Structure 1
């Protein structure tokens, strides 16, 4: 039992350290490129906020859960537990919103001038900054209700039962109110995420179709210069599609684990740990995917 906790603690701590270093190095790369005079794309601003959201998820979930796994001092104040849970929810929601915005703006960028997206191609860059800040505000408003049901494991409140989540626990009372609370929280949690996920998949399929049609046109024309001009845009689109598919895969696994957590009362400690590990996979992997597929950042690292 002790060895299992040690292995899980090592996995979570390694994920947290590697993920934070990867996101921090990628953010520093964008800052260096900005001061070096490189012209960054409008989607790079969204990527910066995705990096910030990933770091928020890792810091608010990985660090305190590592402390809980290794048996270090728990967070004694309810305010600290509520704040960490709120930051995790906001960071996770902002990751979903950033992936959606990346897909939308990239689909507008690569769309032909004769398509229905053509009217937005010129105006789209102006809406990048307002859109990303609107997403932050909406995520804060949507998730502000959930910390009310979170308290510290060291709290002296006399609840009839608690659902343990490692460094914090949820406040549960009688069975009737518990079912109502679970239904309301599930609806509030799932609706924005499922909506963004569905729209992201639809936009991703649209980008694949646009790339396929463009490839067919280039092969029909038989001009190598047209292919060379479009290659940077195609590479950026494929990078976003790879990021999107990676996110969707880990999100589905994380959602399954979240549903199991809500189903079992109380959930096993192993299920809680696995949920944390899967939730941290995308914030850990995504910066390295971006580094390997971003030509400007790639050149900077080799330089």
Structure 2
């Protein structure tokens, strides 16, 4: 019978393959359209960034999990451990901040047509790329401590002074440093989660008001005009709901791991929960956003015209 931790490793390996296929297809789609002169929506830049962050998160741990599932454990040396965990943390942070950016952008787009909102809608697309660059810089600097503190799983020293995370270990003798790092990591995450929760509630209220207004004015013109915005908002609400669910479950498990002896199945379970949203999100986007399907049709027509 296959052990639970080995079974979870195999599941994560296939989970990584499925997620990478979905995210890379989105990256290829938007890149192809951009370089061939196709006009893209401002939101497509955020979706591309989300696909890149998800791919980074999946690749940084999925390959190691796959090797572990095949019985090749302790494949990372000290440098490899630092790089893998650093990229994983950067990808995780980027996925969270990009989801916030996506949710915030959509909230502005569907806001009431009042003068201050109209002005904001006009200028917000210009700040998408600077916001993405700031996210990259912030998360790369935030996680530099990983390159200092983490060690390979076969490091020497007093075993009571280290906390083992299967592939890597961290020195826990300096409790102040560990607590400070936990605070630095947790505060931005908590702020993003609060923002997502508030933003989701705001958009639900807007959709409810729009639904009541449509019920009063049942003309084909108003229904046709409102449908694309409503459907896009529902798609992003679904994405955010999936993200919040898996993120909260993973955070609870991670908190438990910090307060008790870490077992291999707990590490694999945490990796599985962390990879659920990156795996699911590209397929939710492809299924829910009709514009993406039209993009795929455009790509197919252009490819046929070149042959």
- Structure 1 length as normaliser, TM-score? 0.91
Structure 2 residue matching 1:39: 3-state secondary structure: coil
Structure 1 residue matching 2:71: 3-state secondary structure: coil
Question: CA offsets per residue over residues 244-289 of structure 1, 9 Å max, x none?
Answer: 111000000010011011011x311111111111111111111111
In the alignment, which residue of structure 1 is the partner of 2:119?
119
In the alignment, which residue of structure 1 is the partner of 2:231?
235
Structure 1 residue matching 2:162: 3-state secondary structure: strand
1:168 has 2:168 as partner: yes
5+ residue gaps in structure 1? none
Work out whether residues 12 and 66 of structure 2, in 8 Å CA contact, stay in contact via their aligned partners in 1. Answer: yes
1:203-222 counterparts in 2 under 5 A?
203-222=199-218
1:223 has 2:184 as partner: no
Work out whether residues 7 and 69 of structure 2, in 8 Å CA contact, stay in contact via their aligned partners in 1. Answer: no
In 2 relative to 1, CA 78–6 (structure 1 residues): closer, same or farther, beyond 3 Å?
closer
In the alignment, which residue of structure 1 is the partner of 2:183?
187
Q: Distance in 2 between matches of 1:219 and 1:76?
A: 60
Structure 1 residue matching 2:183: 3-state secondary structure: helix
Structure 1 residue matching 2:163: 3-state secondary structure: strand
1:44-123 counterparts in 2 under 5 A?
44-114=44-114, 116-123=116-123
In the alignment, which residue of structure 1 is the partner of 2:25?
25
In the alignment, which residue of structure 2 is the partner of 1:41?
41
1:297 has 2:292 as partner: yes
- Structure 2 length as normaliser, TM-score? 0.90
Structure 2 residue matching 1:170: 3-state secondary structure: strand
In the alignment, which residue of structure 1 is the partner of 2:282?
287
Work out whether residues 46 and 101 of structure 1, in 8 Å CA contact, stay in contact via their aligned partners in 2. Answer: yes
5+ residue gaps in structure 2? 301-307
How far 1:59 moved relative to its partner? 0.9
Work out whether residues 6 and 68 of structure 2, in 8 Å CA contact, stay in contact via their aligned partners in 1. Answer: no
Please tell me the root mean square deviation across aligned C-alpha atoms, in Å. 2.0
How far 1:196 moved relative to its partner? 0.8
In the alignment, which residue of structure 2 is the partner of 1:7?
7
Work out whether residues 19 and 285 of structure 1, in 8 Å CA contact, stay in contact via their aligned partners in 2. Answer: yes
Q: Distance in 2 between matches of 1:115 and 1:269?
A: 56
In 2 relative to 1, CA 37–223 (structure 1 residues): closer, same or farther, beyond 3 Å?
farther
Structure 1 residue matching 2:109: 3-state secondary structure: helix
Work out whether residues 67 and 74 of structure 1, in 8 Å CA contact, stay in contact via their aligned partners in 2. Answer: no
Structure 1 residue matching 2:169: 3-state secondary structure: strand
Aligned length: 298
Work out whether residues 57 and 275 of structure 2, in 8 Å CA contact, stay in contact via their aligned partners in 1. Answer: yes
Q: Distance in 1 between matches of 2:183 and 2:190?
A: 10
Q: Distance in 2 between matches of 1:71 and 1:262?
A: 26
